[in-house]
Chains A and B, each alone.
Chain A
Amino acid sequence: MIKIAKNRVSVWAVIGAVLFMIGQVVTNLYLPNLTSDLVNDGVAKGDVSYIWSVGGKMLLVSLLAVIFAFGNVLLAARTSQTLGKNLRRDIYQKVLNMSDDEFDQVGTSSLITRTTNDVIQIQNVAMVALRMMIMAPITLIGASFMAYQKDAQLTSIFIVVIPIIVVFIGIIMYFAVPLFKAMQTKTDKLNLVFREGLTGVRVIRAFVRDNFEQNRFDGVNRDYTNNARKVFSIMAAMFPVMTLVMSGTNIAITWFGGHLIANQAMPIGNMIAFMTYAMQILMSFMMLAMVFVFIPRAQASADRIQKVFDLKTRILEPKDPKKFSTDEPAQLDFDDVVFRYHGAEKPALIDVHAHMKAGQTLAIIGGTGSGKSTLINLIPRFYDVEQGAVRVNGLNVESVSKHDLQDQIALVPQKAVLFKGSLRDNLLYGNAQATDDELWHALEIAQAADFIRESDGLDTFVEQGGDNFSGGQKQRLAIARALVKKASVYIFDDSFSALDFKTDALLRQALRQDKTVNQAIIVIVGQRVSTVADADQIIVLEDGKMVGLGTHQELKENNEVYREIVDSQIKEGSASNE
């Protein structure tokens, strides 16, 4: 945890917070001392002017306490929130620059939790640490010392009381902590079943299984409720017992203190002060107990964050990057590419080769897991090859800077991702200089102009994740976004599967007729034969092996795998004449 905080918070601020806290504690401890003076030397002796002077001192000390507290809170708040801010910034930066490899290692949703919840956790603990966590021990030491000074004999009461508290908290924790943990799982279960009821409402009703769902929910609901009842029943004992222990301590002090006073071993004011110290000692013990609950949770968060920082990227920038020349015609080459996912036993791609020139279309077809997406991920260098090379415009993708490489490539991923904001902002993503005409042109090609015109045009608002569009619409907008970017290679990763035949065909036709795209290379990953059929070259993949390369006609005639795919899709009557 300290490792994570290092360099992200100012050491001086931390020291300052500690000093202020010491000041706050000292003043707090001094107050009972003054009270006992007030009683011993003022009240008992009837010295009114002395009472007034001690009263004045007490006011002054209280004021000091507030000032110290203010200083501490200010520094604690700023330091803890700065830590959170810097952590968040660093993780975000790290994650955005991560390669897919590292992304896969942790997983998107886990990365999100690490950047959000885990950071908040750390930030809260930092706040608590700079206040309670340092306050408790300082108070404990100070109050013990003061109490000891007031009366050494009475301190033996703590030898009895403190173990009682520790044991009691221990018992409660022993029973409550597992139940609290179980509660989290049961909460998730509750959420899950309820959410399934929402997402599956049509299926549930179609199969008339509402009652089944009702019972299923009732099961988890009951389970949760019983657990909650147990947990909170245990916790119900906590507060009364704690109060009882504290009150018991006061009574013990009165009783034993009384005898000491009777024996003239202690002035009466000391007893009153002692009670105050006793309360402070017990309170700080409880604070410490709470702190111990916090620490393991924060430690877990810190570990998760540290893991993100520790990820080393395997995609390195070249030492001496080459530059693309501006007027070179587009070109794309796969030179006997072999690729293996990190730590995988068997290569994901073996001996893939293809050479494409400006204006040509390369299609890649094959079943799930055959390596289609893997292959195109090599072009923007999301992964590095093991053998062979991928060249864009004649240059090995590993020899140019990542930034320059991305400039040559426009990608439409399998799952269309849009960002919250206006449609215009989304389209300008890859080319901030594009004019509205260019944007409309891209929308036309992508067959998206119609439905965009029907809504608010380029100002159409895009919800988070593009949720206000259907799957097919999102996909077309993602295509338009890629077209706005002027690139040498346009990659469509299974981008047409969400479109119907007609739109798919119209879109590909329009693509071919566009002047810019005509100068570039199109790479299409497809499932449907009709989508890939008119490509200049088709790569047929099976289990990572390139089992065919050629045009539709060539492959249809002499490629077994390709023919199988064709047959599966268009064989007449295959569906109904079984």
Chain B
Amino acid sequence: MSEQNNRSNSHPARPMGGHGPGGGMALPGEKAKNFWGTVGRLFNYMAKYRIALVIVMIFAVGSQILQVQTPKILGKATTELFKGVMSGTAMQKAGIAMKEYPIDFTKIESIIMTVIMMYVASALLNFIMQFMMTRISQETVYRLRREMKAKMKTLPINYYDTHSNGDIMSRAINDMDNIAGTLQQSLTQLIQSTVMFIGTLWMMLTISWQLTLVAIATIPLSLVVVGVVAPRSQRFFAAQQKSLGLLNNQIEENYAGHIINRSFNHETQAISEFNEENERLYAASWKAQMISGLIMPLMTFINNLGYVFVGVLGGIQVANGSMSLGDVQAFLQYTQQFSQPITQLANLTNTIQATVASAERVFEVLDEDDMTDDQVDLPDVAASKDILTMAHVKFGYQGKDLLMTDYNLAVKPGQMIAIVGPTGAGKTTIINLLERFYDVAGGSIRLKGVDTRNMKREDLRRHFAMVLQDTWLFTGTIYDNLKYGREDATHDEIIAAAKAAHVDEFVRQLPDGYDTVLNEEASNISQGQRQLLTIARAFVADPEILILDEATSSVDTRTELHIQHAMGRLLKGRTSFVVAHRLSTIRDADNILVMNHGSIVETGNHDQLMAKQGFYADLYNSQFTGNVEI
């Protein structure tokens, strides 16, 4: 059915959605770069199921061979019937009266029994094969997904910063789906179609080579349909997908921005732009649907052509007595199923190509370079009083200008370092370096005298905890989210942390308390409460050094107070780096890193910096423009 081939086009609107096996009509342009290499690698993943795969293949071939033979054998039954009828009529003509034609039913019975057995055997083989293949394909993709996830652990942060989540997701979900679908269905289909094609041809030859020639004469016609019409429909499908994508973008944008649309009186223009694209989509999609819809009737027609000629020529041969009726009947059945493997193989090439391209994209991720663990030859500084030092640090993001050329900083235990600067000044760079999301290009960052590159990242990070503006929590219970801070935290420690961070109060008011599952959009708790949870999580971690972003957005006054309060408690007695938004924090800081355009432009405490009359003083004074004394 051509409708089935188009199934994959039924949900193009959701790049993350489309699921289930059954590769649809693949879009052109999705060609793998290294086809056989990727295929080989994919098969390596199935190496564990080597024996099962061989069995699957044997069964696929076996079931198909059985299937292919049955029409011919069943044809023998028809021949027997015909023979009986012919001799019966001949006898009648000779004047012998009879109640029944002399048909050999015992022979027919044995033929039918054979056929039944073959059918049952074929069905059984087919079922077992599908059953095994399901297991093989699902387990293989399970493993691939698992490896992909494991890879996410070892990739450098740089990879995440330079690849969009959408791109990674589409590889992890859509491409995986493609692979699962193809392994599940297309592989066995490929074998079966090939066997069916060869088998049918063979059976036809054993019946009559003359009729086979007639049947084969229709192949070029089928090829024309498959080779000319199908690509055309694919082209329209591609155009359809493209229009659909653009249209969906328009829909998403304008729905999300409907307030802007309305308040700028932009509806009419938005609608006319939409209609334009909608027309384009229509023009492509009806053609795509029509042409793909035509393939089926056209193939039927070609089939019928063969059928008629075989019927006529076969009929003549039976009339001449050079062929049996059963053979002609069987041959007609073969003719009917002859085009099936051709169409199927044509579709399969597309699906398989698309799948190999998908596999290639998955392997691309798996082949990315991991984080490097190069130790540096810098001796530990044993007698350092500083908990953290930065000495001659040189740093810049890959392919970009250096942001720091020779930065020095010494932090004593318990000190608070404020990071300030205008929007987009690159305050995250400091976090990136401290947590070793990125490594320095030169110089050294030392934690208690040890270069951080000579420590395991995990060990380094256990000294830190972060509370960021982006309140990432995972979909799980509140309790588990708090425990996230430290795996071995006890129940009491977690509750104590919750109390310290003003979390306990609101959590107890939730119907499920600490077992409340945070949902994806976090619609069940407010933004401010999420922020409090991240603070509590840091409490649970109980780090030596704290990285904190003070910014709180869209939070009501009461919650804001709670957050300040909680942050205050968290900071107490700890060394801290605070992305500061409040004057009080900045004034109290032991050291202030003033950032602009990605680099640190000034360092010092509030008084020193004010005295400098530089960038910081400027920044600080600007808050009081408007001539209102707060």
Contact = CB atoms under 8 A, between A and B. Distances in A.
B383 interface: no
Interface in A156-210: 183-184, 187, 190-203, 205-210
B103 A81 contact: no
A141 interface: no
A240 B127 contact: yes
A413 B557 CA distance: 21
Contact of A191 (B16, B20, B88, B255): B16
Interface in B315-337: 315-316, 318-320, 325, 328-329, 332
Interface stretch (B197-205, B341-349, B389-397, B618-626): B618-626
A63 B122 CA distance: 36
A567 B146 CA distance: 52
A117 B169 CA distance: 20
16 contacts: A44-B86, A85-B279, A92-B278, A197-B149, A199-B165, A202-B437, A207-B465, A214-B153, A222-B142, A228-B180, A254-B74, A264-B101, A417-B253, A429-B260, A451-B424, A574-B584
Main secondary structure of the interface of B (DSSP, over half): helix
Interface string A37-69: 011001111111001101100110011011001
B279 A262 contact: no
A529 B630 contact: yes
A120 B11 contact: yes
Given A66-B300, A248-B119, 10 more contacts: A39-B315, A47-B319, A51-B315, A84-B285, A92-B254, A92-B278, A113-B13, A127-B289, A206-B466, A505-B622
Given A241-B123, A413-B259, A65 B423 contact: no
Nearest to A69: B297
A292 interface: no
A239 to B, nearest CB: 7
B380 to A, nearest CB: 22
Contacts of B100: 262-264
A209 B484 contact: yes
A221 B146 contact: yes
Nearest to B153: A210
Contact of A564 (B256, B537, B554, B557): B557
A572 interface: yes
A120 B13 contact: yes
B5 to A, nearest CB: 12
B108 A65 contact: no
A115 B282 contact: no
Contacts of B270: 96
Residue among B119, B249, B257 facing the most chain A CB atoms (10 A cut-off): B257
Interface in B66-83: 67, 70, 74, 77-78, 81-82
B299 to A, nearest CB: 10
B264 A485 contact: yes
Interface in B444-474: 457-458, 461-462, 464-466, 468, 472, 474
Nearest to A206: B466
Contacts of A52: 312
Interface stretch (A70-78, A340-348, A349-357): A70-78
Given A63-B301, A194-B173, A198-B152, A578 B565 contact: yes
Contacts of B258: 95-96, 98, 103, 108
B228 interface: no
Contacts of A257: 81
A507 B321 CA distance: 101
Contacts of A14: none
Interface string A76-99: 111011101100110011011110
Closest 10 CB pairs of A and B: A236-B130, A69-B297, A367-B556, A472-B423, A534-B626, A368-B556, A417-B257, A55-B312, A116-B13, A240-B123
Contact of B263 (A59, A409, A451): A409
A263 B318 CA distance: 23
Contact of A43 (B77, B267, B319, B435): B319
Given A411-B259, A411-B260, A577 B588 contact: yes
Contact of A95 (B255, B308, B464): B255
Given A500-B422, A534-B626, A575-B567, A89 B278 contact: yes
B286 A201 contact: no
A255 B293 contact: no
Say which size band chain B's interface belongs to: 35 or more
B262 interface: yes
Contacts of B557: 367, 564-565, 568
Contacts of B301: 62-63, 65-66
A441 interface: no
Contacts of A576: 416, 568, 571, 584-585, 588
Nearest to B520: A192
A470 B421 CA distance: 15
Contacts of B112: 251, 254-255
Contact of A70 (B263, B294, B325, B550): B294
Contact of B325 (A115, A193, A268, A577): A268
A43 B528 contact: no
B410 interface: no
A506 interface: yes
Given A31-B304, A62-B305, A406-B264, A194 B127 contact: no
Nearest to A263: B100
A309 interface: no
Nearest to A115: B251
Given A47-B319, A120-B11, A419-B257, A194 B520 contact: no
Interface stretch (B23-31, B42-50, B131-139, B213-221): B131-139
Interface string A242-275: 0110011011001101110111100010011000
A303 interface: no
B584 A51 contact: no
Contacts of B263: 380, 406, 409-411
A370 B448 CA distance: 48
Given A62-B301, A69-B297, A575-B567, A229 B134 contact: yes
A268 B19 contact: no
A296 interface: no
A407 B169 contact: no
A94 B591 CA distance: 57
A232 B305 CA distance: 37
B157 interface: yes
A390 to B, nearest CB: 15
A337 B353 CA distance: 65
A124 interface: yes
Contacts of B385: none
B282 A82 contact: yes
A435 interface: no
Given A78-B286, A80-B289, A202 B564 contact: no
A295 interface: no
Nearest to B130: A236
Contacts of B20: 183
A472 B421 CA distance: 13
A73 B553 contact: no
B105 A258 contact: yes
A38 B424 contact: no
Contacts of B416: 576
A544 interface: no
Interface in B105-160: 105, 108, 112, 115-116, 119-120, 122-124, 126-127, 130-131, 133-135, 138-139, 141-142, 145-146, 149-150, 152-153, 157, 160
